[in-house]
Structure 1
């Protein structure tokens, strides 16, 4: 995989399992809805998944309504338009996890919210899974600041109180 992103007409599903041959809708253990889905992301949201599956991460990015003060406070000077934050304890897993991207036909999915795409029927990948490669290098190539913190919660609290766009994934796995 050259850039860890979906191409036109496809969405991606990221997994540490390179043996999946079909994606069957299911209700995840942590789901907030009762409907079974196959989940995938589009090109713009692929960077949210350049992590080990269970890794807690807090992400923030500039949007048109972002104030200069919030940009400086959260993104920092010279930090670009996006930051992903993780805890120190996850660095080794980020370095060593082998992550794979499954390319899936976008026409079998519907958008759900700003980032997710869901299918309600079994989906067959367009080809074999592709190794995503070095997760640090993907962030660097995309111009995404990767911040390493002792704990995520103070950062997350600051992000959600401001004017940036944001997303938090697996925050329940963050240190208290």
Structure 2
């Protein structure tokens, strides 16, 4: 499930949203109100139940041979064992938007934001089997007892990486 050219997506477990209003998320690091969406490259980061913590890593052109060998594949999305059942049973929906009201956010961009209310281009689409989406995209899903060793390793590597909802991960081992 990826956006078509000229589109961005918003993923949600709520299939009833008809209009998206800018808001400041409870976990926001910036004070501005936004509607959030993602482009084709970042869509796989959201093929998860909303609250699922995940640590993601991928090979970049500047990734060292050592880090490439450690990762073993082009892209990995890691979750904790406790989230597997939810990953298998969640119903996730994609809302499509025209990209024009949105602008890239972050450096490098990791999302798109709109500062005005936006309506989806149509009804939300059920995303389907989340693990199958990863498989079809060639993204390896790794199950871990805890995300923290993986996260700490990728955060100091030459790999591209991102963590989402890490506050929902099991506590870091001491």
Same fold (TM over 0.5): yes
Q: Does 1:60 align with 2:57?
A: yes
Q: CA deviation at 1:156?
A: 0.1
Q: Secondary structure at the match of 1:108?
A: coil
Q: CA deviation at 1:72?
A: 1.3
CA distance in structure 2 between the aligned counterparts of 1:72 and 1:64, rounded to whole angstroms: 14
Q: CA deviation at 1:115?
A: 1.6
The corresponding residue for 1:169 is 164
The corresponding residue for 2:129 is 134
The corresponding residue for 1:38 is 35
Q: Secondary structure at the match of 2:88?
A: helix
Q: Does 1:29 align with 2:26?
A: yes
The corresponding residue for 1:6 is 3
CA distance in structure 2 between the aligned counterparts of 1:152 and 1:106, rounded to whole angstroms: 33
CA offsets, 1:85-135, max 9 Å, x none? 000000000000000000011001000022200000000000000000000
| Large movers: runs of 4+ above 2 Å | none
The corresponding residue for 2:140 is 145
CA distance in structure 1 between the aligned counterparts of 2:54 and 2:61, rounded to whole angstroms: 23
Q: CA deviation at 1:162?
A: 0.6
Note the aligned Cα RMSD (angstroms).
Answer: 0.5
Q: What's the TM-score once normalised by structure 1's chain length?
A: 0.95
CA distance in structure 1 between the aligned counterparts of 2:38 and 2:51, rounded to whole angstroms: 17
CA distance in structure 1 between the aligned counterparts of 2:141 and 2:68, rounded to whole angstroms: 16
Q: CA deviation at 1:150?
A: 0.2
The corresponding residue for 2:75 is 82
Q: Secondary structure at the match of 1:70?
A: helix
The corresponding residue for 2:44 is 47
CA distance in structure 1 between the aligned counterparts of 2:68 and 2:170, rounded to whole angstroms: 26
The corresponding residue for 1:70 is 67
The corresponding residue for 1:115 is 110
The corresponding residue for 1:96 is 89
CA distance in structure 2 between the aligned counterparts of 1:27 and 1:112, rounded to whole angstroms: 14
Q: Secondary structure at the match of 1:44?
A: coil
Q: What's the TM-score once normalised by structure 2's chain length?
A: 0.96
Q: Secondary structure at the match of 2:104?
A: strand
Unmatched runs of 5 consecutive residues or more in structure 1: none
